[in-house]
Amino acid sequence: MSKHFDTEVLHGDKKEKRSIMSKVTPIYQTSAFVFKDLDELEGYYHGNGHYLYSRVANPNTDELAAAVARLEGAVDGVAASSGLSAILAGVLAVVKSGDHIVAADDLYGGSFHMLKEELNDLGIETSFVSFSEIDIVEKTIQPNTKLLFTESITNPLLRVENIKSVVELAKKKNLYTLVDNTFATPYHCKPLTMGIDLVVHSATKYFGGHSDVTAGVLVGRKDLLEKAKTKIVNLGANVSPFEAWLTTRGIKTLALRMEKQSRNAQLLAEAFLKNPLISKTYYPFEMSENGYGAMVTIELDRSLNVNEFFRSLGWVKIVPTLAGVETTVSHPLTTSHRALPSEACEALGITKELVRISVGIEHVEDIISQFTLAIENAKKH
């Protein structure tokens, strides 16, 4: 098999032996699987069968997990009902009550809330610090610290993580590592090849690619994945067969979409850098040889009317998500990072003027023109 990414997204799946050999895997939209007798049922529990009940496993969910594992260079993976479900499974695979996590302070707001509130209620403490200075991270490590958690490209400020430094520190301190690779996708970054233990994706985003599924995938070390799979089964965090089927279908065009969207995002970011009414442009120009990702974040000049900017976006939709084929925008302060304390938002630079842009596959001149128009309309008179 070719090692090129745009071939792997299409042809790396296992060929199942089925009585009817369809080109595309059927949707196994069933809650349970049938056994011919008690001997066959008992055989399942002794490893002689694959499927019992769809909460436990299903051919479609297995296919999704295997596809992402293959692209990330992992030996194993597990699909979940959402990105947060996959993160939860990854965290609980390595920590328990009484343990401590060190997490990047510029994580996605949903991850921040889950770590700070929900896991804290379970007796798992998290310290949020800047991963820009690895010395600060090291000083935050406690005797009961078990996990370092960050993102390859952070949400929404698009900081590119120094994964090598994170891995070196983790090995030095005998810690596990978990990286959310949603923004970069394996098209731009493969953290497992750099020594990370677990990689998580909100498959809702670029893997699905069309804003019509909710799913998550966790891949990584086989020993940790076995624990994570148990958590997903016992906590009921499995993804449905149809959602998994749709996401697997989306993966087949991942390379095409990322190439186009990343190129559009780069050109849009370059246009913003030339616009005096944009105070800051956040874009990971140093990301990878395949491009720099499809997200652009800007800070509007304070002379602009922020609400008028959003009103003037025309065909660009305002949504609290990202990564579809259409260009969309979100307002982090009031959506993804709404749960963060105001002082944390202020320290990070998540202000009223901050706008996160998910760049689509439209013609780039149309994208740039629409944002230029919105900026002009937002001028305060």
The pLDDT tens digits of the residues spanning 95-118 come to: 999 999 999 999 999 999 999 999
Give the Cα separation of 334 and 320 in Å (integer).
9
**pLDDT at 349 exceeding the cut of 90:** no
Report residue 13's pLDDT band, with 50, 70 and 90 as the boundaries: low
Give the Cα separation of 151 and 177 in Å (integer).
11
Report residue 17's pLDDT band, with 50, 70 and 90 as the boundaries: low
List the one residue out of 237, 216, 215, 249 whose CA is nearest residue 26: 249
Percentage of residues in the chain having pLDDT higher than 90: 86
Q: Where are the beta strands (DSSP E) in the chain?
A: 76-80, 100-104, 125-129, 145-151, 176-180, 198-202, 216-220, 278-282, 295-300, 317-318, 328-330, 354-358
Average pLDDT over residues 228-245: 97
Give the Cα separation of 84 and 99 in Å (integer).
20
**pLDDT at 81 exceeding the cut of 70:** yes
Question: Which amino acid does the sequence have at 122?
Answer: L
DSSP at 47: T
Taking the domains of the chain in order of start, what are their residue ranges?
Answer: 5-251, 254-377
Q: What is the mean pLDDT of the chain?
A: 94
5-251 folds as: Aspartate Aminotransferase; domain 2 (3.40.640)
**pLDDT, greater one: 5 or 161:** 161
Question: What's the Cα-to-Cα distance from 106 to each of 156, 164, 170, 186, 276, rounded to whole Å?
Answer: 8, 18, 19, 21, 26
Count of H-run helices and E-run strands, the chain: 15, 12
* Rounded (10°) angle between helices 241-251 and 59-72: 30
How far is CA 92 from its chain centroid?
A: 18
Report residue 245's pLDDT band, with 50, 70 and 90 as the boundaries: very high
List the one residue out of 211, 264, 204, 267 whose CA is nearest residue 64: 204
340-364 burial, b at 16+ Cβ within 10 Å, e below that, comes to: beeebbeebebbebbbbbbbbbbeb
**pLDDT at 152 exceeding the cut of 60:** yes
Peptide bond just before 143 cis, omega within 30 deg? no
Give the Cα separation of 96 and 123 in Å (integer).
8
| Tokens of residue 232, six digits | 């997903």
Query: At the top level of CATH, which class does the domain 254-377 belong to?
Result: alpha beta
